[in-house]
A and B are shown apart, each in its own frame.
Chain A
């Protein structure tokens, strides 16, 4: 945008015109009329353009602060504390306030990366290909390592060849599904999360 050429005289005049103190001295209310400036005239609520808001829970620690997530065109634009929550009453800590930064982090992955054995690089792969490959490897490892009974005859029906780690950052429904499929379905016993770290 091109800007008008402004002389020092113009600038001083503009400053005096915009500065709230002279107007306050003339009796204008510092909270309303005197607070106005050319900049404030153009200020808009940052959530004005949101087309969606949902309730969320802070993804960091376990205090469980409630959040409001505002979005526009399928992208989160703002996250703030939910004032209705008896836990945080609208507040958030430095981590909770960074939730929008987590959702929109510059380093977020959007594609599956695959590193083949002995390779020196990541390669992007389709999601379906990765799911098929992981299902195949899971079956193969399970079949190679499954133990139905110990040498003494005790039934164990487990595999020690597969492990899963993580869960404390996930939803209850996800933990349930992990334990059900990995434990109840595949016979995995190495299933752990951050509860011990």
Chain B
């Protein structure tokens, strides 16, 4: 989540879900919260019952819209035009929270005078290299100093010596103009940048009538400020775009301008889709990060040695200055006694990445025979992967494939039921892949922790054994590790040192040989080497090899031997503070609302009595709160760094800097580094769009990751062959790739078959009625499905002509009780520059009545 990370410091929801009940206004956009996160939506309804306004902006009218006070229909892929319009409204009408934004954001900071924006450069920012389709971010920096990003890659692409220029952050505060008159201050840059995002332009781009748009602006502004707070909720309706990171960035700007971050009932809630998707980002099974948002060593950066890595990745100022402690403690957790100062704690054993190794390029590397052996651990890419035909065809190139799941997935069945076989391109006797399908245990059948969408780490008990040979993934990895360590035990080859050195101390606790999960949790929490005492907090971690810690942000989850805070179930009773500090553990350090120092003013006094969360107690010389405080507990509000001393780390942040993970302690309205596509959100059309960009000559985001090839072609803008917008979505009754609900009788019965939603005006053109068969087609493939003709999807008038949208749920496949064609046959492999997130929320397609002649694809 680089958007929230670069804006506020941490890539995570800023508030707890239950806190939404305290909001005065909830804006839901990029999410169908009522249907996809219904239990969290209860808190929105509680807020509404107390008088809060609920706003929903979405391409489809859903149950969320039905329960909202204001519904804004917006064309899929036009979110930044809408949000940019809100930013312009706030700035031009002085509707932002001046005292908050001036103090706690970089609004007044001066950007280098060679910075230029899309106004000057016809849709791109300064630093763009057309040949590389990438930016050098030199000109995006603060005047006189380079600013390291708080996200895992602290070291951006520049022509200057970034580390040396970042060092200047220890010499003086950034140049700021509190009068906001300086032409290169962020405020003036934003005013110029968003000047053309007028209500009329918003209507022209998004299709939402300007009256509705303005009503939303007024509602949001009225319910924000000193006495009131508003919250934003979003989900994959925002992330699944080639500009997804920038959409969320736009919301981050709005919320910081309005003073809604770090305050009760305010903030941004990312609604995530899998039980531990936040956890699997924090402790990443992701290619580019090490646990706790540390950078995976990269051959293209100055990561040649541990010293170089730490020098390049450690910002001089802010909390991230502690990074070496976290890196060295991680290496100690991984390599134990074999990690010593003499061998750089085994730094060279950590593999270096050489490019983008995320799922989309992985899909192509499988097809292109780079990847030979593969593990699939609870994921079903034949359904969930973009360009499903390419995914399924690629699997036949693998030498071997291990699928671990609770039932046979479409992916596991690719070799006899996949589309290349059904199409007659391949027979099983042509496919060399050796496939293992292994039964897996699920929650209820194993101990462990999930991290929920608001950073809450919650333990689940093993109550029963999974059936037969079902085992946990931990069992699988543990026993595979033991076997591999045995296979490599006698090797003298240097390349085999990492597996030999890997510290693997987990005891087995039952007859099946399941490892002790709490032993792993303790390692994640961190402990002192030697006596193996758990550390109480990440403040106890050291950079001298005396501590080990698997993920520093989780320190405190197992603070004492036998104390598993994730299993704690002490909720606040009625009349309690409602932070529920005794219910499980929230990272970091059990803080429930991030950046909560911002709930008080510069003097440490809450902005309003009604919205009190954190305050400075002058007598006790410390901050007080019913929450865990996201600030140094005894740093006085009036503290100023002594710049003569070249202060580093937290010493360089004054007492009015609540965003402690950023290098200047402020929320970044303008992001100098950490993003690859823009310092300010800018409307670009989706890669496939039926209209030309009404705002700029630059049609789509120039830095998008494209893999245009024969088996992954794209549609040109305004392609008459593919005139309609297609958006994919989810249903209440089904879960992602579908196996955990399509194989379950009750959910399959509730939502038994695939379909697509078609607006009545488009259906009329084709003579279609609900229940008729239709074929949807893109240059990647075609599917047949049933039509659901509904005015929930309405035609838009965009730039003077009618544009139709079609919606299709993507859960369905051919196995289980609820079946349907695979929506991802239609989608393409194309990615956001920052995250390589696909764009399955906005692509183009064509529609015809009838069925596929050659059978289903």
Contacts and interface: CB of A to CB of B under 8 A. Distances in A.
Interface of A is mostly: mixed
A157 to B, nearest CB: 5
Contact of A63 (B17, B437, B484): B17
Contact of A136 (B333, B449, B471, B487): B487
B378 A138 contact: no
Contacts of B481: 177, 181, 185
A156 B298 CA distance: 8
A114 B436 contact: yes
B463 A53 contact: yes
B750 interface: yes
Interface stretch (B108-116, B140-148, B269-277): B269-277
B437 A113 contact: yes
Interface stretch (B62-70, B124-132, B766-774, B831-839): B831-839
B750 A94 contact: yes
Interface stretch (B38-46, B254-262, B608-616, B673-681): B38-46
Interface string A177-197: 111111111111111111111
B849 interface: no
B480 A131 contact: yes
Nearest to A154: B299
B696 interface: no
Given A52-B463, A154-B304, A158-B352, A61 B273 contact: yes
Interface residues of B, number: 161
A36 interface: no
Given A91-B39, A109-B407, A197-B838, A157 B495 contact: yes
B167 interface: no
Interface in A47-81: 52-67, 69-71, 74-76, 79
A93 to B, nearest CB: 4
B619 to A, nearest CB: 32
Interface string A98-137: 1101110111111111111111101000010011111111
A12 B572 CA distance: 55
Contacts of B277: 62, 168, 193-195
Contacts of B524: 172-173, 176
Nearest to B240: A197
A173 B474 contact: yes
Interface stretch (B191-199, B283-291, B660-668): B283-291
B352 A156 contact: yes
Contact of A180 (B274, B468, B502): B502
A66 B452 CA distance: 11
A163 interface: yes
B469 A127 contact: yes
Contact of B436 (A112, A150, A163, A184): A112
Given A138-B484, A176-B520, A193-B379, A162 B350 contact: no
A92 interface: yes
B444 A135 contact: no
Given A110-B467, A175-B284, A197-B384, A102 B740 contact: yes
B39 to A, nearest CB: 5
A20 interface: no
B280 A184 contact: no
A165 B280 CA distance: 12
B750 to A, nearest CB: 6
B480 A107 contact: no
A187 B353 CA distance: 10
Given A101-B746, A174-B477, A109 B276 contact: no
Interface string B282-308: 111111001100001001000010000
A86 interface: yes
Interface stretch (A3-11, A25-33, A37-45, A140-148): A140-148
Contact of A85 (B282, B448, B571, B816): B571
A87 interface: yes
A166 interface: yes
Contact of B351 (A110, A157, A165, A167): A157
A98 B746 contact: yes
Given A138-B484, A164-B377, A191-B287, A61 B36 contact: yes
A141 to B, nearest CB: 4
Sort A-B residue pairs by CB-CB distance and give the 8 closest, nearest first: A110-B468, A64-B452, A171-B448, A167-B285, A54-B461, A158-B351, A166-B379, A166-B377
29 contacts: A53-B463, A54-B460, A62-B274, A62-B453, A63-B37, A64-B456, A65-B39, A67-B444, A69-B444, A85-B569, A85-B583, A87-B39, A94-B38, A95-B735, A101-B747, A103-B445, A105-B743, A105-B745, A118-B431, A134-B436, A163-B371, A163-B373, A166-B377, A167-B280, A168-B280, A170-B378, A173-B517, A185-B498, A197-B838
Given A95-B733, A171-B473, 10 more contacts: A61-B275, A62-B452, A69-B463, A70-B463, A74-B464, A109-B407, A155-B348, A161-B370, A171-B474, A192-B357
